[in-house]
């Protein structure tokens, strides 16, 4: 049982588990599933900006801040007590393609060649970590949601706006993965 939990889950277990977050959050907290608004609440909490966008009672959204604290703790718990010693199960074609672009290490959740403090001065790292993070924050708030709020919760509600947003996610992601990523990895 523990072994089965530790190993990476197949999509038909993982997907429904994520989908069940929708009714669980509603039943327990009566909150709509979504994560990216937490970024706004953190900004409001830290009073980092004076613009009107942050003038609201963030304390009423405390559940969101605690929820993302929980996401962090849950990952800590899993790394500690249910670690997997398997490689991320991507297809051979992806391994081949990434290898051809200079990725040599497939052991973690993300390539340490890019995502580690020791490579922080590398332009590939700067673009992926800092610019990438910036665009995640800016884009999710502009779109009014992320993969959780739009792709899972919004599509579950048959929201047209969420469908438009998800189409946007893919347009952006396809442009980066197909055209920009090869250039970024060339900087490694």
Q: Tell me the number of residues near other proteins by CB under 8 A.
A: 130
What's the rounded Cα separation, in Å, for the pair 115 and 103?
12
- Least distance in Å: CB of 113 to other proteins? 11
Footprint on residues 90-129 left by other proteins (CB under 8 A)? 90-91, 93-94, 97-98, 106, 108-111, 114-117, 120, 125, 127-129
- Least distance in Å: CB of 31 to other proteins? 8
- Least distance in Å: CB of 3 to other proteins? 12
Asked if 150 interacts with other proteins (CB under 8 A), we say: yes
Taking CB under 8 A as the criterion, the residue among 100, 135, 186, 187 binding other proteins is 135
Angle (CA) 100-105-172 rounded to 5° is 65
Asked if 186 interacts with other proteins (CB under 8 A), we say: no
- Least distance in Å: CB of 81 to other proteins? 10
Asked if 2 interacts with other proteins (CB under 8 A), we say: no
Footprint on residues 49-88 left by other proteins (CB under 8 A)? 49, 51-54, 62-64, 66-79, 82, 84, 88
């Amino acid at each position: 049982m523990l072994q089965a939990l530790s190993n990476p889950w197949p999509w038909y277990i993982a997907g429904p588990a994520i989908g069940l977050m929708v009714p669980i959050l509603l039943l327990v907290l009566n909150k709509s599933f979504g994560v990216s608004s937490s970024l706004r609440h953190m900004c409001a909490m830290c009073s980092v900006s004076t613009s009107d966008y942050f003038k609201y009672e963030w304390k009423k959204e405390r559940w969101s801040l605690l929820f993302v604290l929980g996401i962090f703790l849950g990952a800590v718990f899993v790394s500690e007590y249910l670690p997997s010693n398997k490689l991320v199960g991507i297809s051979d074609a992806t391994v081949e393609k990434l290898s051809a672009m200079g990725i040599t290490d497939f052991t973690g959740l993300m390539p340490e060649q890019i995502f580690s403090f020791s490579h922080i001065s590398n332009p590939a790292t700067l673009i992926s970590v800092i610019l990438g993070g910036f665009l995640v924050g800016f884009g999710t708030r502009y779109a009014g949601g992320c993969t959780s709020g739009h792709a899972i919760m919004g599509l579950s509600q048959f929201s047209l706006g969420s469908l438009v947003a998800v189409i946007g996610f893919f347009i952006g992601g396809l442009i980066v993965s197909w055209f920009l990523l090869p250039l970024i990895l060339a900087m490694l």
